[in-house]
Chain A
Amino acid sequence: MLRFIAKRLGSGALLLLVISTLTYFLLFFSSTSVAQNLLGDSATAQQVAAKTHELGLDRPIITRYLEWLGNALHGDFGTSWFTNQPIFEALATRLPITLTIVMLAIGTAAVLATVLGMAAAVKGGATDRLVQFLAIAGFAVPNFVVAIAIVTLFAINLALLPATGWVPFTDNLGNWAKSLILPVTALVINTVASAAQQIRSAFKDVLSRDWVRTLRSRGISNTEILFKHVLRSAAPAGLTVLSLQFVGMLGGSVIIESIFALPGVGQLVVSSTTQGDTPVVMGVVVFTVIVVILVNLAVDLLNGWLNPKVRV
């Protein structure tokens, strides 16, 4: 078990190294005019040269990369070129907000998709067709269109919920919850639709296995077979789908945060990429990949617990 975790973490570290290296060298092309951008059009060539030197951009890319890597390994991700805010600090306040929304959304989506997928697989007929229809509808409407639609309806026309903004739950629990409802809903609708479809297929597959029939022949009730045995065997497939959806949501939350003006990582990503703020982009990429690696590890461990055959 520990060896398995160590192996996965090792492979995750390799992935992190590859991606951060690629990103760093890719961003090199964008950092050419950073000094000019920072100082504005009126800056003289001399000022620009001085700023370039100050940022260390006049040194070879390899030197800069190794320095960044060395610092990053010590937990120092530098400061933003534009705001001078330490990147670790910026992420520490923003990442929790993004993760709150994404986790709530994936949790809700998991429950709803399982219920819908199970119902479609077990009941068939009209329920099945409804779930299939919802899957296409959910696929067709991008989450930002959903977001705009529900903002228009619930925030602007009905004025039931706030259209934008974030309330920390330490301030007011009720308002915190209210500020979450619309963004989470916007992310959930899309995800539920496609996940339900795949969970349905996983259920149908398990329901057709021989041992389901044998369990029935032993006098075990249908409810118990469904919730204890079939659910457990179908869960790994569902978890894999949901882990992919989770990755998608991390990206999707960028747009959702901008629509709802939430101070999560999303805004940081948009501003840093448009400005060419390399240290911030690097910080965001590294932390996003870490989150993804941890989630995938958790999914693998859960799958191992669910299915003794893949247990290590």
Chain B
Amino acid sequence: MSTNTAAITHGVAIVRSSLFKRLLKNPLGLISSGLILLAIAAAIGANFLAPFDPNHTDAMNLMADPNASHWLGTDAAGRDILSRILFGTRGTLISAAVVVVSSIVIGVPSGLIAGYYGKRFDAVASWLANMLMSLPAMIVLLAVRAAAGPSILVSMIVFGLLIAPGFFRLTRTAVMGVRNELYVDAARVSGLSDSRIISRHILTVVRAPIIIQSAMISGIAISIQSGLEFLGLGDPTMVSWGSMLLEGFQNIYVNPKLVLWPGLVITITIGAFALLGNALRDALEDAQKVKLSRKQAAKTLANAMADVAAHQTSESVKHASGDHLLSVDNLSVGYPQANGSLKYVVQDVSLFVDRGEVLGIVGESGSGKTQTAFSILGLLPENAKIAAGHIVFSGDELVSPTDGSISQKELAKFRGKRIAYIPQEPMSNLDPAFKIGYQLVRPMTQVLKISKSEARVKALQLLETVGINNPERVFNSYPHEISGGMAQRVLIAGAVSCDPDLLIADEPTTALDVTVQAEVLDLLRDLQTRLGMGMVLVTHNFGVVADLADRVVVMQYGRVVETGDVRSILRNPQQEYTKVLLSSMLEGKTPMTMLTTKEA
């Protein structure tokens, strides 16, 4: 249940006290902490709280129902159930504590050393951790009991050892993550000793996940301890919930109610620890959310204000959606926020593409250009909302008027067949588990309804067309066996395989080496003219635009700044932002910060 390690370790900066404050604000966190405090109180105060001695037998009152003196009734030997439950809390909580402490003592330091120093210690410790994890705990514990006798304490220490790999892995992963962070480097350079660095910088990183893991392990420990007691393998002199359950189970035909109370307290206690673990995790994640949403709230406000302004101008810039291949009119896309508002990433964008024409969309990251492209493809993330506007592809409206999302039914007719997509990052856009050939053939048999062998012939031709020297070999390769440039050619081959009318290329050369970039651009230009496709080219690079595009749309902060044909924009940019963008690009610099114009 601790799969969110990465998320957890991110929230380390939070001060502990505020974490607990947040924990108590969550109703589940409050309830679970309350229950655990109650259990601790019962364990400490059992002598005062319990109405009877837990071993006092009342021969006149065997298996009595709950009554005024025995609130929960009595067991088969006439002992008070409530008193036994209260005293049983001790063994339960002590067991949980012993397991948590011993597994932390073993797991955390070894994880720190393995993660920080690595090498041989890491190899040995990881092997040991794997070994411990492949042992069935219950059988080992029984073997230990055979050796050490019925001491639940020894069993719990051994169980702590068995479960220590959990802490070991958690710590090791977290430490490896921060070992090479700059602030740790800085500390090292400034002459801090390794032990200081570990205690000051690294322990703070693993503290939160360790607390969460401890809650979970407490639950597991209670389950194992009760299980051993239930098997009758515990210390016979101690009162325990597990042995109460066993005695109840032995009388289950006589009085099934006897198993109820111990079963219930075991479940509630483990459940409380599980909920506490979850609530702690949520509290940590919330801390991040709160930080984020504050920033976003400011943005939302700014956007809302801009929205008003946009409405005043939008009427005047409206395009006639006439008979363009694709026309986008006044498109706005937003993501719903926790406070109910929409955070806009695309606002009031209008553009069009004609058949055989290349439209460049230029802007920095965060300008909304990719979101616009995904809107056209209907591939926006699920939580994105199209707040306003129309997307018309060869006469068909793609935005469904009812719920502000892209009509998947409409798009299914076009996607892959008439609208195709070339992604940015070649290596992450092929399914690593399937051969290249399969990934080219399958869409063709689906979309073009041709046979597998026909599709195979066509795929090999396409691979040749996109400039792959040995199509047969690439066809039979897995994605990890080819280079990035080859993978991008494969993706281009896939995109044009079903003879699309419109090709949407999202930074098709950004992830490639400079030499390969030029080749891929040549290829795209060649294919585009040969197949007469319309093309939307999303890029941050004016060089690419100059090379390929007929017309340009410049975007900033989700809006269209300037639009026009490529020559006039390059030679005579009207807007300040375009000029800044253009000059920075022509000098061949990659902007390190957001570019600003005088107005913005």
Q: Are B252 and A307 in contact (CB under 8 A)?
A: no
Min Cβ gap B83→A in Å is: 21
Q: Are A247 and B433 in contact (CB under 8 A)?
A: no
Complexed CA–CA distance, A285 and B137 (Å): 11
Complexed CA–CA distance, A289 and B443 (Å): 46
Interface residues on A, range: 35 or more
Q: Are A308 and B271 in contact (CB under 8 A)?
A: no
Complexed CA–CA distance, A194 and B270 (Å): 14
- Which of B350-358, B411-419, B515-523, B589-597 binds A? B411-419
Q: Are B447 and A219 in contact (CB under 8 A)?
A: yes
Is B226's beta carbon under 8 Å from chain A? yes
Q: Are A233 and B252 in contact (CB under 8 A)?
A: no
Question: B residues within 8 A CB of A74?
Answer: none
Q: Are B231 and A284 in contact (CB under 8 A)?
A: no
Which of A26, A213, A309 is within 8 Å of B423, CB to CB?
A: A213
Q: Are A251 and B137 in contact (CB under 8 A)?
A: yes
Is A198's beta carbon under 8 Å from chain B? yes
Q: Are B480 and A140 in contact (CB under 8 A)?
A: no
Within 8 A of A (CB), among B93-139: 131, 133-139
Complexed CA–CA distance, A215 and B442 (Å): 10
| Interface of chain A: mostly helix, strand, loop or mixed | helix
Question: A residues within 8 A CB of B4?
Answer: 201
Which of B1, B131, B419, B429 is within 8 Å of A211, CB to CB?
A: B429
Over the window 266-298 of chain B, the binary record of Cβ atoms lying under 8 Å from chain A Cβ atoms (1 yes, 0 no) is 111011001100100000000000000000000
Q: Are B134 and A292 in contact (CB under 8 A)?
A: yes
Complexed CA–CA distance, A214 and B142 (Å): 53
Q: Which of B136, B245, B278, B425 has the most CB of A within 10 A?
A: B136
Q: Are A136 and B135 in contact (CB under 8 A)?
A: no
Is B186's beta carbon under 8 Å from chain A? no
- Which of A50-58, A83-91, A178-186, A270-278 binds B? A270-278
Is A263's beta carbon under 8 Å from chain B? no
Is B70's beta carbon under 8 Å from chain A? no
- Which of B37-45, B143-151, B192-200, B555-563 binds A? B143-151
- List the A residue with the shortest CB-CB distance to B150: A274
Q: Which of B4, B249, B419, B491 has the most CB of A within 10 A?
A: B249
Question: A residues within 8 A CB of B138?
Answer: 250-252, 254-255
Which of B231, B377, B419, B478 is within 8 Å of A258, CB to CB?
A: B231
Is A104's beta carbon under 8 Å from chain B? no
Is A141's beta carbon under 8 Å from chain B? yes
Question: B residues within 8 A CB of A285?
Answer: 139-140, 143
Complexed CA–CA distance, A285 and B379 (Å): 54
- Known contacts A217-B420, A233-B433, A254-B139; A209/B219 CB under 8 A: no
Q: Are B143 and A27 in contact (CB under 8 A)?
A: yes
Question: B residues within 8 A CB of A270?
Answer: 142, 231, 233
Which of B142, B233, B270, B416 is within 8 Å of A219, CB to CB?
A: B416
Interface residues on B, range: 35 or more
Is B17's beta carbon under 8 Å from chain A? no
Over the window 473-505 of chain B, the binary record of Cβ atoms lying under 8 Å from chain A Cβ atoms (1 yes, 0 no) is 000001010000000000100100010000000
Is B48's beta carbon under 8 Å from chain A? no
Is A80's beta carbon under 8 Å from chain B? no
Min Cβ gap B400→A in Å is: 17
Complexed CA–CA distance, A232 and B263 (Å): 40
Question: A residues within 8 A CB of B146?
Answer: 27, 30, 272-274, 276, 278, 281
- Known contacts A210-B425, A219-B447, A221-B446; A139/B230 CB under 8 A: no
Within 8 A of A (CB), among B371-425: 377, 379, 382, 412, 415-417, 419-421, 423, 425
Q: Are B266 and A145 in contact (CB under 8 A)?
A: yes
Which of A140, A210, A274, A296 is within 8 Å of B270, CB to CB?
A: A140
Question: A residues within 8 A CB of B3?
Answer: 197-198, 201
- Known contacts A270-B233, A281-B143; A251/B270 CB under 8 A: no
Complexed CA–CA distance, A124 and B149 (Å): 50
Instruction: Name B's A-contacting residues (CB within 8 A).
Output: 1, 3-4, 131, 133-149, 219, 223, 226-227, 230-231, 233, 245, 249, 252-253, 256, 259, 263, 266-268, 270-271, 274-275, 278, 377, 379, 382, 412, 415-417, 419-421, 423, 425, 428-434, 442-443, 446-447, 478, 480, 491, 494, 498
Instruction: Name A's B-contacting residues (CB within 8 A).
Output: 15, 18-19, 23, 26-30, 124, 135-137, 139-142, 144-145, 148-149, 151-152, 156-157, 194, 197-198, 201, 209-211, 213-221, 229, 232-233, 244, 247-248, 250-252, 254-255, 258-259, 269-270, 272-274, 276, 278, 281, 284-285, 288-289, 292-293, 296, 306-309
Known: A217-B423, A254-B139, A254-B142. 12 other contacts (CB 8 A): A27-B147, A142-B227, A142-B267, A145-B245, A218-B421, A232-B433, A233-B433, A247-B134, A247-B135, A251-B140, A254-B231, A285-B139
13 pairs, CB–CB < 8 Å, chain A vs chain B: A19-B131, A136-B271, A136-B278, A139-B270, A145-B263, A229-B434, A248-B137, A273-B143, A274-B145, A281-B142, A307-B432, A308-B433, A309-B480
